[in-house]
Structures are given as structure tokens and as C-alpha cells.
């Protein structure tokens, strides 16, 4: 009989501990850590795939995509942050108004067709320089997405860096050139993830300044 009482007492004690542990876990559970949000502007000439890239990252249907004439905004979630991306149309008549949409940006994404000719890359470089010289974009982290790497004649990252004169365009800002493919969305996502790491790094530097 004493052994039975001891067993019952042990069982009751174990149940109490279990109940207390469960209550503590429920009551003291920390709220999920919120991800930082950053605003970026996405630039590039017409037909380089900007809209398709962002639509794909959002997991939306690509069958009804039409070229962006003015601008569109998409909020895209990543593991470490949320990017609110303002995509601007790349047509001849639209590029002259790009600077009206730069305010509030914290990063710049410039999408380049890697199979562009040397003359086309010269024009792309000129457009990029004009945009990055704008006061609203000065010093902001830059992602140059060397897209369409699966096209015939696609140029390497080294070639694109040289032909766009990125060493000069960078002007002290943090920047990266990232190769991506039309048929592999993971290559695009990894480029955006690298940009987020740049943004987080800039935040950490700013927070340490006296």
C-alpha cells in the first residue's frame, strides 16, 4: 500500500511539473521577431525582365504580365527582411521621369540583359550613371542583376562590371553584380538576398556611429 501511495504521489508530482512547464511555455512564449522592411527602386531598360522577376518572387501568375508603363510596387518577403520594391518602366519616354520616383528609396536594383551588345551596355551605363547621380540615390546600396545568363552570348559578371564601368559608378557605395537566369528563380532570389545583407550591414554600421 505505501508503494502504491508513493507511486501515485510521484505521478501527481510529475503531472504538476508537466502542467507548469506547459503553462510557462504558453505564457512566456516570445512573440515572433519582426523582419526589417526596406524600400528599393528597380530600374532597367525595357524588356529585360523586371516585371517577370518581381512577379515570380511574389509567387504570382506570370501569364498575364504586361510591360510596366509607369510604375508598380510589390512587397516581397525574404527570410531576413521585407523588400518594398518600386519598379519603374524602362521605355524611352518613361526614363526621363525616373527621378520623380526616387524619394524614399533605401536601395537600387538595376536589371541588365547579360546578352546586350557593347553599344547597348554603353547606353545602360549612361542611364545608370544619370540615375545614381540623383541626390535621392547617392550612396545607396546597389544590386546590378546580370540577368538572362542562359541566353546565347550572355556576358560574364567581369565583362558587365567593366563595360558598365561599375568601379567608377560605385562612387563609394556598397554594390554587387549578381548573375541570374530566366529559368532559375533561385538565382534571382539569391541576388536579392545579397542586397538585403548589404542593407542590414549598412544599418549595423549606422547604429554604431557616434
Query: What is the secondary structure of 125-180 as a DSSP string?
Result: HHHHHHHHTSTTTTT--EEEEEE-TTSTTPPPHHHHHHHTTHHHHTTTS-EEEEE-
CB 142 within 8 A of CB 132: yes
Cα separation, 78 vs 193, whole angstroms: 7
Share of the chain above pLDDT 90, in %: 60
* The pLDDT of residue 139: 92
pLDDT band at 59 (very low <50, low <70, confident <90, very high): confident
Evaluated on CA atoms 35, 37, 43, 47, the torsion sign reads: positive
Q: Is the pLDDT of residue 130 over 90?
A: yes
- Mean of pLDDT over the chain: 82
Distance CA 14, CA 104 (A): 57
- Please give the Cα distance from 38 to 54 (Å, whole number): 15
pLDDT band at 22 (very low <50, low <70, confident <90, very high): very low
Question: Could you tell me the residue ranges of all domains in the chain?
Answer: 1-30, 37-207
**Chain center to CA of 12:** 54
- Res. 35 pLDDT band, cuts 50 70 90: confident
What pLDDT sits at residue 33? 57
Per this entry, what is the length of the chain? 210
Q: How far apart are CA 13 and CA 143, in angstroms?
A: 59
User: Taking the model in full, what pTM does it have?
Assistant: 0.80
pLDDT-based confidence at residue 15 (cuts at 50, 70, 90): very low
Give the strand pairing for 37-43 and 82-88: parallel
CB-based contacts of 140, cutoff 8 Å, min separation 6 = 105, 106, 107, 108, 173
Residue 11 has pLDDT above 50, yes or no: no
CATH, domain range 37-207: 3.40.50.300
> Rounded CA gap, 74 and 87, in Å?
8
Query: Which of 165, 155, 163 is closest to 119 using CA atoms?
Result: 163
- Please, which pLDDT band fits residue 170 given cuts at 50, 70 and 90? low
> E strands within the chain?
37-43, 71-77, 82-88, 107-113, 142-147, 175-179
Amino acid at each position: 500500500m505505501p508503494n502504491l501511495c508513493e507511486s501515485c504521489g510521484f505521478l501527481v508530482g510529475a503531472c504538476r511539473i508537466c502542467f507548469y512547464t506547459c503553462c510557462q511555455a504558453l505564457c512566456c512564449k516570445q512573440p515572433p521577431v519582426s523582419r526589417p522592411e526596406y524600400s528599393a527602386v528597380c530600374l532597367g531598360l525595357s524588356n529585360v525582365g523586371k516585371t517577370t522577376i518581381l512577379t515570380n518572387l511574389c509567387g504570382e501568375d506570370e501569364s498575364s504580365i504586361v510591360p510596366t508603363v509607369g510604375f508598380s510596387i510589390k512587397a516581397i518577403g525574404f527570410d531576413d527582411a521585407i523588400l518594398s520594391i518600386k519598379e519603374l518602366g524602362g521605355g524611352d519616354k518613361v526614363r526621363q521621369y525616373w527621378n520623380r520616383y526616387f524619394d524614399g528609396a533605401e536601395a537600387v536594383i538595376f536589371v541588365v540583359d547579360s546578352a546586350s551588345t557593347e553599344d547597348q551596355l554603353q547606353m545602360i551605363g549612361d542611364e545608370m550613371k544619370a540615375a545614381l547621380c540623383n541626390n535621392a540615390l547617392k550612396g545607396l546600396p546597389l544590386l546590378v542583376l546580370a540577368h538572362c545568363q542562359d541566353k546565347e552570348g550572355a556576358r560574364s559578371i567581369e565583362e558587365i562590371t567593366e563595360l558598365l564601368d561599375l568601379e567608377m559608378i560605385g562612387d563609394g557605395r556598397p554594390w554587387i553584380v549578381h548573375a541570374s537566369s530566366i529559368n532559375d528563380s533561385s538565382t534571382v532570389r539569391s541576388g536579392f538576398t545579397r542586397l538585403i545583407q548589404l542593407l542590414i550591414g549598412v544599418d549595423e554600421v549606422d547604429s554604431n556611429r557616434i
